[in-house]
Amino acid sequence: METGVSGRLDDLMAEALKLQPVNVCTYSPLVLAYIGDAVYEVLIRTKVINRGSMQVNKMHKKSASLVKAESQANMIKVLQEELTEEELAVYKRGRNARSATMAKHATMIDYRMATGFEALIGYLYLQSRYERLLTLIHDGLEKIGEFS
């Protein structure tokens, strides 16, 4: 296991939540997207509240604008060239997964790209590759003109 902050966080979560070791490669791309969606939203909300105190409704609108499928699709478009072969394969598995649902206000293409992006986020999170996860989110936000 890694040392430092991520190692401590992993240990704390495993102990407190009684987590069993699991091979992340056994999860379906939709399961990876499920956890990736939550992780990405928490990180975006953290970034939004860090910009200073404002009305919660304004924070929600800003967060929602960055976690919607269209924004996630834009993020992965600008990040694709930075991805390793492994990361690109995870993204494509997520993008090509057939989901039973679709976002209300998204095109099918954006929704599938967003699902692939979320699968990648979930994959990196479950592997405790926090530095890489945060680098991609930072770079993506910067490239789409958010929080530069």
**CA of 50: how far to CAs of 47, 53, 59, 88, 147, in Å?**
5, 8, 10, 30, 11
- Taking residue 80's Cβ as centre, other Cβ atoms within 10 Å add up to 13
Q: Which of 10, 11, 37, 110 is catalytic?
A: 37
Distance CA 108, CA 76 (A): 15
User: Is 10 noted as a catalytic residue in this protein?
Assistant: no
Q: Which residues are catalytic?
A: 37
